[in-house]
Structure 1
Amino acid sequence: MAQVSLRQQLCPPELLGRMNATMRFLLGGAMPLGALLGTVLGAAAGARVALWVGAVGLLLSCLPLLRLGVPAVGYRFNGRAAAASVVSPASSPSTDR
């Protein structure tokens, strides 16, 4: 849910429909491919190995966020995000309001 809110804040209102449709297409298309890969791996190496590979893959998917940082969105005014910057892993987010 948080990713949807972040995307909606960063995307201009006139492009929200296209952005949501694109994300649904990409994520919806990735799920059947992952299911197929899991099935093939489970049949070839066993269910336990397939589950471990999936768990390790899920944990490794967070590494780019640790390396690149997480976007921090400023306050909204006039329907647009006021500021968008990248918070590096070493810095802490601002508490100014």
Structure 2
Amino acid sequence: MPNKHRRGERLCLPAGKFWWPDLSAILVTMFDVPISDDSIRLGQFLKLANLVESGADAKGVLADGLVSVNGEPEVRRGRQLAVGDVVAIDGESARVTRA
């Protein structure tokens, strides 16, 4: 009978063997995007950071709820971002920095 791992049971590995979870699905690429003003609108920032190709694309990803700002979902294209804010979409994060 094959050994199957059942819920609630401990997984036993041979001595010297270690199991590490695959974190690639949750790892996020973070990069800084400098702005010259004190703030920038979210739609403009998405384009500046090359997270979307156009304003129409920005509108679409925001409407679909795919964008978060500082870990909170955001749907407003006109949301004002300030230095230090972090925008995330599809595993990529961009931080607003001062130029």
Pairwise TM-score range, normalised by the shorter structure = under 0.3
> Which entry has the higher C-alpha Rg, 1 or 2?
2
TM-score (norm 2): 0.22
Higher helix share: 1
Question: TM (normalized to structure 1)?
Answer: 0.23
